[in-house]
A and B are shown apart, each in its own frame.
Chain A
Amino acid sequence: MAQWNAPNLIAAIDESKGMTEKGYTFLDRDQKELFLSWDALRSEAMKRAAHLRKYGLKKGDRVAMVLPDGEDFVPTFLGAVWAGLVPVPLYPPLSLGKLDSYKDTMVAVLNKAEPTYLITLSKMQQVLWAGLTHVKSLKGVITAEELKGPAPEGVSQDPAQVSEDDLAFLQFTSGSTSTPKGVAVTHGNLRANAWAIMVDGLKSDSATDHGVSWLPLYHDMGLIGFVIAPMFHKVQVTFIPTMAFVRSATLWFETIHRVRGTITFAPNFAYALATKRSKPEQLAKWDLSCVKAFGCGAEPINPGTMRTFVETLSKAKLNPNALLPCYGMAEATLAISFIGMDETLSTDVIDSDAYQKQRTAEPVHISKLTEGKAQEVVNCGKTFPGHEVGIFDDEGKRLPERRIGEIQVRGPSVAKGYFRDPDATERTFGGGWLKTGDLGYLANGNVYIVGRKKDIIIINGRNYDPQRLEWLVDDMAGVRKGSSVAFSKPGAASEELIIVLEARTNSETELEALKESVKQRIVEQMQLTPTDVVVCPVGSLPKTSSGKLQRSKTRQQYLDGTVGKEGNRTIGSNAEKVVLARHVALSLLGRSRHRARRVVEHALEVRSVDDALGKLKLAGDYFSNRLTRLF
């Protein structure tokens, strides 16, 4: 087994010289392949670094990237790193009609990261312009097309000199819009976590392994797990466009089957979706026996989902040992723990009473599950050599095995902190341990996660994890899947449980019956009576940019008496048209204002003035088309 051990990502890219047989393959929406060998990736990185340097960018400068496709994203990211710049990957605007909240998030993130330039596709510019005028640090936009062109002459293509402590890139987590936090990932972090994932965790072999990923590249699991770590350890990867996966989820398994993939990762929801969409004739055709790691992480792992996946995909020769539950977070670069490569999904059944009252994880017989007196927790494995996981109580005292408390991590993968946010850094990274905010316990050194600390519901001195209550409700007929929210409100004696959900029905009698059965289910399974069950119209509960329901916001709306009343259908209302018109107008204004500023700043840069005029004309056409259609 070849052992790769580059001191940093730049050196890892440089090791690629002359390696033309393997590398990264990018599929497009039509399944057409673009193959870039390790050697070609190195050349592309050097060329793009030169382009970026031509803009006056130097070591430590941030560059924001909004590039949806891997074939643009990966070489550009590597090029920026090669030049010593700090890339700031952002997610592209994808969903229909969410431009307003997208713009707000983007502006907040950019104002935190303070990038000098933003790199995007020329066709994306129009969508983004509305927000960019609010970002003072930005000098302009560089298009991905420009970076593809021949390297500019007289500009250095040499690799930047970096040390372990130098920033490699900023990883923004999908937190709240108002206070985005950028995890400052250093070159030392990347090297340590790449080693943990590829060597300690996956025991990868560059001669035989082949990664397959549809994960978004602006997300830690996609970027570190499938771009950076495989570059360090020279494991070839086939990239499926995220949108292609979302459009047709079985493309994931189909591609693994076709290229004989061995390593893939995804969050729980993707396993549920792809399993559901797999047709019998596909299952009969696929041979997935090649896969040694079906990693599952990035969101709570539902044992039921995993079992359905293993059972269904066994028809496609899936090896049950391939399933690899894992635990990680952006603040620890990516991975914190994996189960062993020879282990399969295992769970711990713990007594609900002991968990809720004494915060201990006491193993009980599985039959207690059906009686509603126990809960099942997935084993997420052990942490990696050189790293340590500890469980702490609220006073900061370290707890022994099977005691439930906050999971904390230390080791070389733990990031430096949040970029330019000393308060948040102290809160989360202070004292030498990364406070994950997750509640869990250790048993035989394995990590078990029971929930998020801040969401925990405490009723009559018992602890309940809202996720588990929501899973119970989500399963019920009539409830829109993934639409329920559990939280508590202050009551007379103790906190009281409130369940809010979206239902598919409008009939009064059905709604009442649904409320009753929700109450009954919670009572049966958790010995807990919800004080209130609120049924809202579909689509009315607040969600985050990534589509997750926002518990705290729902709770606030409930307390304010506005839950389910905001954002209801206002079909045909003039307000919606105004929103749309505002976008178009802002986009135009932003563009011209920004260009005007650039023209003043770089009065001699004739090229950009022409460019501006051309683009303004385009925007003008678009605007007048839009207006004619609207009004």
Chain B
Amino acid sequence: MATVHIPTLFAQAALEVSGKKLDNLSGATVISKLGLDSVAVMELVAHFEEKLNIRMPDEDLAKVQTVADLGGLVKRLMPAGSEVTW
């Protein structure tokens, strides 16, 4: 079964999308404070969806504030038994 560490994947995605190096991400990191513009954020979401083969509904994304929230959403959408940590 798949194992996903959200902060690691997030940092990879941010690097790929906007060339931004993000250190010290944790579950409590507030995404809106990372200085990614709104387009970059959505590209990042696309990156997650592609990598994990999931679809994150817009109305759920609107409620995501922290890396942990994103983790919770990913966890809910991944097949049962996948390990999602943050």
Contact = CB atoms under 8 A, between A and B. Distances in A.
Interface of A: 29, 68, 92-99, 121, 123-124, 126-127, 243, 246-248, 269, 273, 480, 482-483, 502, 504, 537-540, 546-547, 567-573, 576, 579-580, 629
Given A246-B39, A247-B43, A547-B37, A127 B63 contact: yes
A480 B36 CA distance: 10
B64 A94 contact: no
9 tightest A-B CB contacts, nearest first: A539-B35, A538-B35, A247-B46, A572-B28, A97-B65, A97-B32, A93-B62, A246-B42, A547-B38
B33 A569 contact: yes
13 contacts: A94-B61, A95-B38, A99-B63, A243-B42, A247-B45, A269-B39, A540-B35, A547-B38, A569-B34, A571-B24, A571-B29, A572-B26, A572-B29
Interface in B59-85: 59, 61-66, 68-70, 72
B33 A29 contact: no
B20 interface: yes
A273 B57 CA distance: 23
Given A97-B66, A538-B34, A539-B35, 14 more contacts: A96-B31, A96-B64, A97-B65, A99-B63, A99-B65, A247-B43, A248-B43, A483-B35, A539-B33, A539-B34, A569-B33, A570-B30, A571-B24, A572-B26
B63 A504 contact: no
A127 B28 contact: no
Contacts of A504: 20-21
Nearest to B72: A629
B51 to A, nearest CB: 13
B4 interface: no
A177 B63 CA distance: 21
A534 B13 CA distance: 29
B5 interface: no
Contacts of A247: 42-43, 45-46, 49
B50 to A, nearest CB: 9
Contact of A480 (B30, B35, B49, B64): B35
A247 B37 CA distance: 13
Contact of A123 (B21, B46, B57): B57
B44 to A, nearest CB: 9
A127 B59 contact: yes
A573 to B, nearest CB: 8
B41 A95 contact: yes
A94 B35 contact: no
Contact of A126 (B42, B49, B59): B59
A588 to B, nearest CB: 13
A539 B36 contact: yes
